[in-house]
Amino acid sequence: MKRQAAVTKDPKKERVEARVTAEQKKHIKRAARIKGTSVSDFIVLSADDAALRAIREHEILTLHEKARRVFVNAILRPPAPGRKLAAAAKRYKLRAKI
């Protein structure tokens, strides 16, 4: 899915500056030409995509950490069996003659 620089209708009010090597600038200019966009738009869209990816990865890792904790706690400290589960276990033992 290709994003265009004019996706937002909000006026651009913020400024970001960065120093790059001559080689990096050459690569950026070439990539911008390939994408058919200005260097500035290419940099902004690329940085925004990278930022959103980093945020998503962080949120996924955070969610996985929480899920891991819940899982480990359930294994180490399982809740007591409920009435229905206890009755089912009793029926099973009677049928299996354990």
* Residue bearing the bigger pLDDT, 40 or 8: 40
Domains along the chain with CATH numbers: 15-96 (1.20.5.780)
Q: How many other C-beta atoms are found inside a 10 Å radius of the C-beta of residue 72?
A: 10
Beta carbons within 8 Å of 5's beta carbon, 6+ residues apart: 37, 38, 41, 44, 45
Give the tens place of pLDDT for each residue, 7-18: 556 788 898 999
pLDDT, residue 22, reads: 97
Give the tens place of pLDDT for each residue, 81-97: 999 999 999 999 999 87
From the number of C-beta atoms within 10 Å of its C-beta (0-12, 13-18, 19+), residue 95 rates as exposed
What pTM was estimated for this model as a whole?
A: 0.56
* Phi, psi dihedral angles at 32 (to 5 degrees): -65, -45
